[in-house]
């Protein structure tokens, strides 16, 4: 199969490595010549360039993965759609779906939203690795406008690189990731910012000295990439807001239990949390 990858970072690069291992021909597109050169030398792509026009036999391409940051996905589709055969399957790897899928389908009807849940602590093409998607979930979104044949082809491709594919509509995806991926970012950032409000210098310094693995784990995603966190909130605003408001209600409950000294009820809440958490562990 001839496959294109636009955006050669961690996800695009890793996908290129795996797809080429499967025997596919992969071309890559990047805004950066150095990234194109690295893509070739690392084995991410058979051919890589800066402009769609440089790709020979573009009509032989069957699937194009858009692996840019989420705020560049729609503008990328807008730019390339006029040059594409209508039979080409277009897909993305963005962590939000509703804000992208419906607009993308209007620009190119054979668009299917995708979101592989895979990552490392590193970014960029140098972080690309084989088998990044092995046993990792990958959501593909389907709605009434989705072509079932295109969906099956894309599902097979993700399965061929080891991903466990889930199918749902864009809204279900966005609400699910709001809970387990986007809400944690703000909950965790809030923890750090609250600690930063301590006005007593001795207490603040001691808390910094005493912070250990519990604080570090709970604050990790809140201390992550600020631009990404903000983009995610922007593109998944409504689902995130709903999760945040429900979190506020739960927090108020916990505070009321501490305030009233209802330790039995607090312990019951913590027992429930411990039990519920098991549902989210692999």
Q: Which of residues 183-212 bind its own copies (CB under 8 A)?
A: 183-198, 200, 202-203, 206-212
Residues 251-280 that bind its own copies (CB under 8 A): 251-252, 254-255, 258-259, 261, 263, 266-267, 269-274, 276-280
Would you call 212 helix, strand, or coil by DSSP?
coil
**Are 112 and 181 a contacting pair, CB within 8 Å?**
no
Pick the closer one to its own copies by CB: 46 or 167. 167
Q: Tell me the closest approach of the beta carbon of residue 41 to its own copies, in angstroms.
A: 30
Q: Does residue 100 interact with its own copies by CB under 8 A?
A: no
Pick the closer one to its own copies by CB: 134 or 216. 216
Residues 30-89 that bind its own copies (CB under 8 A): none
Q: Does residue 220 interact with its own copies by CB under 8 A?
A: yes
Question: What are the C-alpha distances in Å from 245 to residues 22, 46, 180, 250?
Answer: 45, 48, 15, 9
How many other C-beta atoms lie within 10 A of the C-beta of residue 279? 6
Q: Which of 117, 130, 143, 162: binder of its own copies (CB under 8 A)?
A: 117
**Beta strand pairing call for 2-6 and 25-29:** parallel
Pick the closer one to its own copies by CB: 152 or 230. 230
Distance CA 4, CA 243 (A): 36
Q: Does residue 217 interact with its own copies by CB under 8 A?
A: yes
What is the dihedral angle through the alpha carbons of 157, 162, 163, 164, rounded to the nearest 10 degrees?
110
Q: Does residue 181 interact with its own copies by CB under 8 A?
A: yes
Choose the stretch contacting its own copies; rule: CB under 8 A; options: 35-43, 48-56, 134-142, 150-158: 134-142
How far, rounded to the nearest angstrom, does the alpha carbon of residue 23 sit from its chain's CA centroid?
Answer: 26
Q: Tell me the closest approach of the beta carbon of residue 77 to its own copies, in angstroms.
A: 22
Q: Which of 56, 103, 139, 156: binder of its own copies (CB under 8 A)?
A: 139
* Torsion over CA: 271, 273, 279, 282 (sign): negative
Question: Binders of its own copies: how many residues, by CB under 8 A?
Answer: 93
Pick the closer one to its own copies by CB: 153 or 195. 195
Q: Does residue 248 interact with its own copies by CB under 8 A?
A: yes
Q: Tell me the closest approach of the beta carbon of residue 225 to its own copies, in angstroms.
A: 8
Pick the closer one to its own copies by CB: 28 or 116. 116
Choose the stretch contacting its own copies; rule: CB under 8 A; options: 19-27, 73-81, 152-160, 165-173: 165-173
Q: Which of 109, 129, 143, 237: binder of its own copies (CB under 8 A)?
A: 237
Distance CA 11, CA 41 (A): 17
Give 156: exposed, middle or buried? Use CB within 10 Å, 0-12, 13-18, 19+: exposed
Question: What are the C-alpha distances in Å from 55 to residues 29, 38, 162?
Answer: 9, 18, 28
Q: Tell me the closest approach of the beta carbon of residue 68 to its own copies, in angstroms.
A: 18
Would you call 208 helix, strand, or coil by DSSP?
helix
Distance CA 73, CA 46 (A): 23
């Amino acid at each position: 199969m001839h496959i294109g990858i636009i955006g050669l970072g961690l996800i695009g690069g890793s996908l290129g490595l795996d797809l080429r291992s499967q025997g596919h021909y992969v071309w890559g597109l990047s805004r950066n010549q150095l990234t194109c050169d690295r893509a070739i030398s690392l084995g991410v792509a058979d051919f890589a360039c800066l402009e769609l026009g440089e790709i020979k036999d573009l009509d032989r391409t069957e699937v194009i993965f858009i692996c840019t940051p989420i705020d560049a996905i729609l503008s990328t589709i807008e730019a390339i759609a006029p040059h594409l055969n209508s039979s080409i399957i277009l897909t993305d790897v963005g962590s939000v779906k509703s804000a992208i899928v419906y607009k993308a389908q209007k620009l190119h009807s054979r668009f299917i939203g995708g979101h592989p849940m895979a990552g490392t602590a590193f970014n960029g093409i140098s972080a690309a690795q084989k088998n990044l998607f092995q046993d990792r979930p990958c959501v593909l979104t389907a709605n009434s406008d989705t072509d079932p044949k295109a969906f099956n082809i894309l599902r097979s491709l993700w399965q061929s690189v080891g991903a466990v594919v889930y199918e749902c509509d864009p809204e279900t995806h966005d609400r699910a990731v709001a809970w387990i991926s986007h809400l944690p970012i703000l909950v965790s950032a809030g923890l750090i910012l609250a600690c930063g409000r301590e006005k007593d210098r001795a207490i603040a310094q001691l808390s910094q000295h005493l912070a250990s693995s519990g604080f570090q784990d709970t604050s990790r995603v809140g201390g992550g990439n600020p631009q990404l966190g903000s983009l995610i909130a922007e593109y998944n605003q409504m689902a995130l807001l709903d999760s945040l408001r429900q979190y506020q209600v739960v927090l108020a409950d916990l505070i009321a239990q501490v305030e009233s000294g209802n330790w039995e009820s607090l312990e019951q809440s913590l027992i429930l949390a411990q039990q519920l958490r098991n549902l989210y562990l692999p």
